[in-house]
């Protein structure tokens, strides 16, 4: 497998073509950003940690019957993935109130949400990823009804699997976002699952172990990500 030209560079990942038109190389960089890119920093080891964390989670989800774009981990900070036609809609599940839902609805942080809420956001950096609904997605052609139903089903299934996984590690899965794409007609889980795209709290102390440590200047960002992985039984390589 030959790695070729860079196709896309996002806030924290770069994507490269390969000699196989169906496969891409996803490179996790050390870049970290928040507040629509207004706050940026390089954090040593972060790319390698997120790449390996993502590979671990994708394996767990695939074992639970959730098809993903993940093929295999290539190195400490790179993975081989299927090339998808991305659906520009983010699916967000919230088990506990935190972040934007607290600001929008005046809900105190830490409020248990039973059942969990499910929200959709348009994947558009220039617009700040605005909240949308199914009607918007259908009217503007961002997704079909069948795709939306599949995405919701897979997102809630992922929540079931991951809530228990993190609970077994003494952590609360507060919320997370997922992205999906289409591969030869099938909707697959795409992008990544890492502490960059979810909120994780210690079950007892509710200490934040995710990207909020960067947003809120709490320090020890990568160390917290590594602690999450350690609790899940992971070991990281940085070679």
* CATH classification at residue 74: 3.30.200.20
pLDDT of 38 reads: 79
For the chain, give the mean pLDDT: 97
Q: Please tell me the distance from the alpha carbon of residue 131 to that of residue 160, in angstroms, as a whole number.
A: 23
Together in a domain, 75 and 89: no
Please identify, among 82, 100, 120, the residue that sits at the C-terminal boundary of a domain.
82
Together in a domain, 16 and 125: no
Together in a domain, 29 and 140: no
pTM of the model: 0.96
- The pLDDT of 38-44, averaged and rounded, is 92
- Whether residue 228 is contained in a domain is answered as no
CA 89, 154, 13, 7 dihedral sign is negative
- Whether residue 104 is contained in a domain is answered as yes
Together in a domain, 97 and 75: no
- The pLDDT of 24-35, averaged and rounded, is 95
pLDDT of 51 reads: 98
- Whether residue 37 is contained in a domain is answered as yes
Q: Is the pLDDT of residue 239 over 90?
A: no
- Beta-carbon contacts of 54 under 8 Å, excluding residues fewer than 6 positions away, are 28, 70, 79, 192, 193, 194
Q: Is the pLDDT of residue 162 over 90?
A: yes
Number of domains the chain contains: 2
* Bond from prior residue into 158 cis (ω within 30 degrees of 0): no
Q: Please tell me the distance from the alpha carbon of residue 228 to that of residue 197, in angstroms, as a whole number.
A: 14
- pLDDT band at 2, cuts 50/70/90? very high
- Whether residue 233 is contained in a domain is answered as no
Q: Domain of 170?
A: 85-220
Together in a domain, 48 and 104: no
CATH number at residue 136: 3.30.470.20
Q: Is the pLDDT of residue 1 over 90?
A: no
Together in a domain, 199 and 112: yes
Q: Is the pLDDT of residue 36 over 80?
A: no
First to last CA, the chain: 20
Together in a domain, 92 and 65: no
- Whether residue 213 is contained in a domain is answered as yes
Together in a domain, 42 and 141: no
pLDDT of 153 reads: 98
- pLDDT band at 238, cuts 50/70/90? very high
Together in a domain, 130 and 203: yes
The pair of structure tokens assigned to 161 is 């699997």
- pLDDT band at 193, cuts 50/70/90? very high
Per residue in 61-102, pLDDT tens? 999 999 999 999 999 999 999 999 999 999 999 999 999 999
Per residue in 136-156, pLDDT tens? 999 999 999 999 999 999 999
Together in a domain, 18 and 52: yes
Together in a domain, 20 and 70: yes
pLDDT of 35 reads: 84
Q: Please tell me the distance from the alpha carbon of residue 195 to that of residue 211, in angstroms, as a whole number.
A: 6
Under 8 Å between Cβ of 198 and 204 = no
- The pLDDT of 194-222, averaged and rounded, is 97
pLDDT of 58 reads: 98
Together in a domain, 7 and 26: yes
């Amino acid at each position: 497998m030959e790695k070729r030209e860079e196709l896309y560079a996002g806030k924290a990942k770069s994507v490269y073509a390969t000699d196989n038109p169906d496969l891409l190389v996803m490179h996790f960089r050390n870049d970290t950003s928040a507040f629509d890119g207004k706050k940026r920093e390089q954090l040593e080891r972060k790319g390698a940690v997120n790449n390996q964390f993502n590979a671990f989670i994708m394996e767990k989800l695939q074992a639970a019957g959730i098809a993903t774009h993940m093929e295999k981990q290539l190195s400490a900070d790179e993975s081989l993935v299927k090339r998808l036609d991305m659906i520009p809609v983010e699916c967000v599940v919230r088990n506990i109130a935190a972040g934007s839902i607290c600001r929008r609805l005046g809900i105190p942080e830490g409020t248990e949400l039973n059942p969990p809420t499910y929200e959709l956001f348009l994947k558009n950096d220039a617009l700040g990823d605005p909240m949308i609904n199914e009607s918007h997605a259908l009217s503007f052609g961002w997704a079909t009804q069948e795709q939306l139903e599949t995405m919701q089903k897979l997102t809630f299934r992922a929540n079931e699997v991951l809530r228990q996984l993190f609970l077994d590690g003494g952590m609360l899965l507060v919320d997370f976002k997922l992205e999906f794409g289409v591969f030869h007609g099938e909707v697959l889980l795409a992008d990544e699952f890492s502490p960059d795209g979810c909120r994780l709290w210690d079950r007892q102390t509710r200490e934040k172990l995710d990207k909020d440590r960067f947003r809120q200047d709490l320090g020890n960002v990568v160390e917290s990500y590594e602690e999450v992985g350690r609790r899940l039984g992971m070991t990281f390589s940085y070679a």
